[in-house]
Amino acid sequence: MRLVLRTTKSLHPAPLHPNLEDKPGWIGAFAAAGGPRYIQIAGFLERAMADGVLAPGDRLPPQRELAALLGVDLTTVTRALAEARRRGLVEPRGSLGTFIAAPAFELAQAVDLSMNVPPPPEGIDFADVLRRGLAQVTLRADANLLMTYQLGGGTMPDRAAGAQWLAPMLGDVPHDRVIASPGAQSALAALMLCRTTPGAAIAAEPLIYPGVRGAAAELGRHVVTIATDDDGMRPDALDAACRTGNIQLIYLNPTLQNPTTHTMPEARRHEIARVARQHGVLIAEDDPYWLLTPDAPPPLAAIAPAQTVYIATLAKCLSPGLRTAYVVAPDRELQESILAALRAITLMASPIATALATQWIRDGSAADLLAGIRAEAAARQQIARQWLAASGPFAPSGIHVWHPLPSYWSSAGFSRAAQDESLRVTASDVFYDGATPPNAIRISLGGVAERTQLSMALKKLSGLLARKPPNASMPVI
């Protein structure tokens, strides 16, 4: 007899007797590097719910039969169902059995699709990785040094770990050229402070990370918008701006750009570097997503190392809580200037957070987390394609989507309408400093804890996109 999981919602369903040779479609193959099997089983359930294979009210087989179907022992199934219950995927109903749960998040606060953070990787117990990492830090380091003031830039082991992390992007970087900074925002502000003068212009693309404009405004600088084409910032437009304006810094986020997800081709990177060299203007390369981007072109810092300050934060590819970004400057003089500015702004990075980043990089935990986050981001991009098929382009393992809106929606109007539906997205005017921002929104995929929640949130968002906004005017009778 074939096992049927999507049953009628009877209060007294008939017992299930599975044919062990005919597994339900939601049961996947265990991955050797996928983590504990009970975690993978919970993942099978979550994926099936996200794909619509399992729906609220469907009953699972009894635990012993489920163990036979999965080829694991009863204890593993018990732990898997406990994990699934913790995630809100299933609910036990006593003697009736275990059922797929209705999504509780519908009654919770707004689902946040606005915060650009890396998604929690499936199959990795992040809490356990954190505990083990902190245990190693406190075991190997002097507790007094972890809890006192330190000179900015990180210890030599911290800088060596930074050089190891940057090797895929920049190759062999001497560790004494690396600065461990308390986040990319601090590094950008420090660079503006030490490299530009009050009133100076910073060249950037029209749509950029809003922290750049915020830092420039607070420091008495301003951002000058440089025209773009399909390849990104136009070299001729940058050349004209450098000839006529007080351009003292060029800001670029060339790989998986926030918010557009655009990646600048290698040829264009060479052209931009040539213009920067010609005018003697430094490039600030903000590159948080390079390690999430398959086949990413070489960074500008690899193409023009003497012209580029490279900033790579761990916040977008590992965890924002680390508050660690690695900075590489072209020469010792600029490095010391950045360090002096960082001390004026933040004094130092948290020694514990920096030491944890160092420990994770050295023991391989960071590489495991990165691989898990890339796989999770790819799975979430697939969910986004399912519900937002017309939006494109989709980055294979990016953590956000740039979604053009239909003409009947404005970016700000849609953001407000989404908020009314308990969904948070980011309107384009946040990234744009001009009269008419592009009619699009950024949808972040990592802030929702579970894929099931993300799928249902994107389904809801898709329905909202298909509806025209209500007419605010009322007929006169």
Query: Are residues 202 and 248 in contact, defined by beta-carbon separation less than 8 angstroms?
Result: yes
pTM of model > 0.95 = no
DSSP secondary structure string for all residues of 162-197: HHHHHHHHHSS--GGGEEEES-HHHHHHHHHHHHS-
Q: 261 with 145, same domain? A: yes
Do 201 and 345 reside in the same domain of the chain?
A: yes
The conformation of residue 325, written as its DSSP 8-state character, comes to E
Query: In terms of domains, do 358 and 236 share one?
Result: yes
Is residue 32 included in any domain, yes or no?
no
Quote the mean pLDDT of the chain.
89
Residue 435 pLDDT: 78
Give the dihedral of Cα atoms 370, 372, 374, 380; nearest 10 deg. Answer: -140
Across 164-190, average pLDDT: 96
Which of 56, 98, 105 shows the shortest CA–CA distance to 78? Answer: 98
Cis-peptide, bond into residue 259, ω within 30° of zero: yes
Tell me the residue range of the domain where 242 lies.
Answer: 126-366
The pLDDT score that the predictor gives to residue 20 is 40
Residue 445 lies in a domain: yes
Cα–Cα distance for residue pair 341/224, rounded to 1 Å? 23
**316 and 209 together in one domain:** yes
Tokens of 279: 């005018």
User: Which has more pLDDT, 140 or 440?
Assistant: 440
| Pairing outcome for strands 400-404 and 440-444 | antiparallel
From the list 229, 230, 265, 235, the residue with the least C-alpha distance to 250 is 235
Residue 361 lies in a domain: yes
Question: Tens digit of pLDDT for each residue in 196-219?
Answer: 999 999 999 999 999 999 999 999
For residues 207 and 301, state if they share a domain.
yes
Per-residue burial over 134-153, b if 16 or more Cβ lie within 10 Å, else e, is eebbeeebeeeebeeebebb
- What pLDDT score does 130 carry? 94
Does the residue 113 lie in any domain? no
Amino acid identity of residue 80, one-letter, is: A
Residue 381 dihedral angles phi and psi, to the nearest 5°: -60, -35
Check whether residue 234 and residue 277 sit in a common domain.
yes
Which of 317, 351, 366 is the endpoint of a domain?
Answer: 366
What pLDDT digit, counting tens, does each position of 425-469 carry?
999 999 998 778 999 999 999 999 889 899 999 999 999 999 998
Last residue of a domain, one of 342, 366, 390: 366
For residues 232 and 275, membership in a common domain is answered with: yes
Q: What whole-number distance in Å separates Cα of residue 461 and Cα of residue 457? A: 6
Domain membership of residue 378 (yes or no) is: yes
Query: Both 454 and 330 in a single domain?
Result: no
Of the residues 350, 366, 382, which one is the last residue of a structural domain?
366
In a domain, 414, yes or no: yes
Predicted pLDDT at 53: 86
pLDDT band at 22 (very low <50, low <70, confident <90, very high): low
Tally of domains within the chain: 3
CA distance 290 to 198: 32
- In the predicted model, is pLDDT for residue 42 greater than 70? yes
Please tell me whether residues 150 and 208 are part of one structural domain: yes
- Supply the CATH number for residue 409's domain: 3.90.1150.10
- Cα–Cα distance for residue pair 272/250, rounded to 1 Å: 10
- Give me the CATH number covering residue 68: 1.10.10.10
121 found inside a domain: no
Residues 88 and 228 occupy one common structural domain:
no
Segments of 373-450 assigned E as strands: 400-404, 423-424, 426-427, 440-444
Residue 404 and residue 302 in one domain? no
- Output the CA torsion 373→377→378→384 (10° steps): 170
3 state DSSP class of 208:
coil
Backbone angles phi, psi at 362, to 5 degrees: -75, -35
Across 371-389, average pLDDT: 93
d(CA 77, CA 92): 14
If you count them, how many residues does the chain have? 477
Asked if residue 270 is part of any domain, the answer here is yes
Q: Letter for the amino acid at 167?
A: A
The CATH number of whichever domain residue 323 belongs to comes to: 3.40.640.10
β-pairing, 325-328 with 400-404? unpaired
Find, among 51, 59, 61, the residue nearest to 20 by Cα.
Answer: 61
Evaluate if residue 10 carries a pLDDT over 90: no
Say yes or no: 298 and 407 in one domain. Answer: no
Judging by DSSP bridges, how do beta strands 90-92 and 98-100 pair with one another? antiparallel
